Structure 1
Amino acid sequence: MNFKLSKLLLITLLLGSFVFGAGKITGGSMHEIPNWFKASFLDMAEDTEEAAEENRHVMLFLDLDGCPYCTRMLKESFINDGPTKSYIQNNFDVININVKGSREIAWSEDETYTEKELAQKLNVPYSPTVIILDSEQNIVVRLNGYRNPAKFKQILEYAHNKHYNNMKLTEYLEKVKTKTVYTLQDNPMFKDINDLSPIKTPLAIIFEDGGCFNCEDFHNTILKNKEVKNAFSKFTVVRLNATSDKTIVTPEGHSVSVKDWIKEINLDYRPGMLLYNEGKLISTKDALLYSFHFKELLLYVANSEYKTYPTYLDYLRVKQDELLKQGVDINLAK
């Protein structure tokens, strides 16, 4: 089973600072929605029609109180003055939806849902999720999890200029000229392996490129975290340059260049990661994760917890409760 990491952004686990047993959860962050978001009557047909008349798109920002990933993305791209915020204000009607909320939303003439029900319909058990709709209310962009402001702006340009009519987002991002902001860093755990098909033990494939805004921080924080390093020790770890023409053999036995493989799997986030066990893709990391969530994702795959728990979220609820009862403090935002 392939559970996209984006489905893992942990709604019920991002709720501020609570005490459970002897341990406590910290790092949850409350946030306010910008006052320039659209004061919508939550009639999506009406909202998309109004936006189209002004050559704009409707953007749904699905979030949850206490979510540190939501707080960071709101601050960087919607609150702080800069080119991304300006581009959003000029071209998008942004509507906030609380994934646990109770407001009623007219999704269509025949369908009305609460915010929580709509999140379930759209398969959004995590936050933040950004969904962009065209004039016919089709979902033309869906982002699972946090995005850096510069990368987010490129994605917004893809939507506003309607490139979705001609190409996938991953194809567009490859065509967009991006200045080099990151030089790929080595790590002792990285193995230089071109044929991945014989590996049946836990396998982590990390994708980076020179346009990765989050990769340096990934190396300097996540990969230096002791618990993350211990979890990675259970894996064969391969790092690939997402823009490379190098031919590899995938774990499924498919011979392909790295950059073409990225298009096939439609992975736009960097550093993205595929996690395999027993030769099968178990999880796709396609959004930002802080150390605790990252470490537990690795253990979910490496320890074959997916055989007991259908989703990472099911596993994480149990694991988190165990840690708290043991007196372990959990920081969600480090």
Structure 2
Amino acid sequence: MPRILRPITLLCTLLALAPGYALSADDEFAFDDKPLQEYIINPEWFKLSFLELHDDVRDAITDGKRGLIIYFGQKDCAYCQAHMKNNWGRKDIELYTRKHFDVIAIDVRGDRPVTDFDGVIYSEKKFAAQHKTNFTPSFLFLDKDGKTALKLSGYHPPYQFQAALEFVADGHYRKESFRDYLALAEAAFAHGNEGLNEHVAFSHPPYALDRSRFAASAPLAVVFEQPKCHACDVLHAGPLLQPEISEKLKKLEIVQLDMWSDTPVLTPDGKHTTAKEWAGKLDVYYAPTIIFFDERGKEIIRVDSVVRLFRLNNVLEYILSGGYRTYPTLQRWRREFKKGDAPRG
């Protein structure tokens, strides 16, 4: 039986008919990602929770819902504000969320106790680190059994967040990947440049990225993109044009791949494949996704959501400073090493 992404269809149709791709003031990508001066207030409909997760899931299912969403945020996070405005600020997305899920909030710098399903008690910030929360907002979707149905890292535009809600609420996570599910909406939503955007820092083929036998001299960044990708156009027209970003990119090995192409690739672990097959194995669903690998080919961190100047600059500092060798998450590096100097997000 064919699937229908109910609220997405009309939105995608309207956006696909849009005459241009300029970043207008009401575009969901148009925001300054510097730390906010005024703190965010979470929606009043969030569940007031003692953060005992077993009880929270049980309560949601008892109320006839499909599961629980754990929202990881920060009070001064511009990406969280963009999510609140463009996703939960839309009545249809709010109502759909409230119908199918309870939502509880975790402050990634907070100290309230969180009791997980094994009875282990963490502080909020340690619980966030346990789930490798590099970016805020992030969302952990738990099903009726308390199992992870989906994790979203970072802020996503409305049609993708709505798709994530439906992916879990309708049970699609049991039989397919979010990458495959989202591809339907992507086809309808596609608008932007016909080809991939170029950048002077990108290496040219052949893409021999093997680091399994000999360590490379610098970390590797792989940028997965696709044609007709508004988010890709925004990345290239914004952060990647900034001199401070361009200078940092020169210190990396960096390649660009079309995530749906048959371009031959020799991966960092020495496997012969194609860009499409490798993207599938890595579960790349968002374009553009930037995955960073260390000199030996181990993944360090990935950016698979909307990214603006300050967040990208933070990530590049984390990589180029070698901070990842000591601090397993970007958030912990910022908190313990950068202290108050790094922009939040």
TM bin (shorter chain): 0.7 to 0.9
Instruction: Identify the match of residue 31 of structure 1 among 37, 40, 48.
Output: 40
What's the TM-score once normalised by structure 2's chain length?
0.74
Q: Distance in 2 between matches of 1:31 and 1:41?
A: 21
CA deviation profile, 1:58-82 (whole Å, cap 9, x unmatched): 111121211222222122111243x
Higher deviation after alignment, 36-45 or 213-222? 36-45
Letter in 1 for 2:71: F
Of 148, 157, 162, the match for 2:166: 157
Cα deviation digits, residues 302-329 of structure 1 (max 9, x gap): 465555666555655687569x6xxxxx
- CA–CA distance in structure 1, aligned partners of residues 337 and 53 of structure 2: 38
Tell me the equivalent position of 1:284: 302
1:219 — aligned with what? 236
SS of residue matched to 1:35: coil
Q: In structure 2, what residue type is equivalent to 1:68? A: A
Q: Is the 8 A contact 2:140 2:148 kept in 1?
A: yes
Answer yes or no: is 1:76 the counterpart of 2:76: no
Q: 1:251-275 CA distances to partner (integer Å, 9 max, x unpaired)?
A: 3221112122112112333211122
Matched residues, percent identical?
25
Q: Does residue 145 of structure 1 match 2:162?
A: no
Residue 104 of structure 1: how far off its partner (Å): 4.5
Name the amino acid aligned to 1:204: A
SS at match of 1:280: coil
Match of 1:266?
A: 283
Whole-angstrom distance in 2 between the partners of 1:158 and 1:210 = 24
What residue ranges of structure 2 are gaps of 5+ in the alignment? 1-33
Separation in 1, partners of 2:168, 2:145: 14
> For residues 196 and 92 of structure 1, do their structure 2 counterparts lie closer, same or farther at Cα, with a shift above 3 Å needed?
same
State how 1:178-257 maps to structure 2 within 5 Å.
178-179=187-188, 180-183=190-193, 184-197=196-209, 200-202=216-218, 203-210=220-227, 212-257=229-274
Letter in 1 for 2:208: L
Q: How does 1:74-113 map to 2 (within 5 A)?
A: 74-81=84-91, 83-108=92-117, 110-113=119-122
Normalising by structure 1, we get a TM-score of 0.76
Equivalent-residue separation in structure 2 for 1:260 and 1:229 (angstroms)? 29
Q: Is the 8 A contact 1:182 1:209 kept in 2?
A: no
RMSD over aligned Cα atoms: 3.2
- Deviating more after overlay: 44-53 vs 55-64: 44-53
Q: How many residues align?
A: 302
1:133 Cα deviation after fit: 0.8
Alignment partners' CA distance in 2, 1:79 and 1:42: 24
> For 2:327 and 2:125, how far apart are their aligned partners in 1?
23
Q: Distance in 2 between matches of 1:229 and 1:310?
A: 25
Question: For each residue in 1:154-206, what CA deviation from the matched residue of structure 2 results, as whole angstroms up to 9, or x when unmatched?
Answer: 12211111112112322333355532123332233333313323683433211
**TM superposition shift of 1:43:** 4.1
- The 1:57/1:191 distance shift into structure 2, 3 A limit, reads same
Query: Hey, what does 2:67 align to over in structure 1?
Result: 57
Residues 212/30 of structure 1: CA separation in 2 closer, same or farther (3 Å cut): farther
- Quickly say closer, same or farther: Cα 1:210–1:87, change in 2 above 3 A: farther
Q: Is this contact kept in 1: 2:232–2:288, CA < 8 A? A: yes
Conservation of the 8 A alpha-carbon contact between 1:48 and 1:137:
yes
Instruction: Tell which has more relative contact order, 1 or 2 (C-alpha 8 A, sep 6+).
Output: 1
CA–CA distance in structure 2, aligned partners of residues 269 and 150 of structure 1: 12
- Structure 2 vs 1, CA of residues 194 and 27 (structure 1 numbering), >3 Å: closer, same or farther? farther
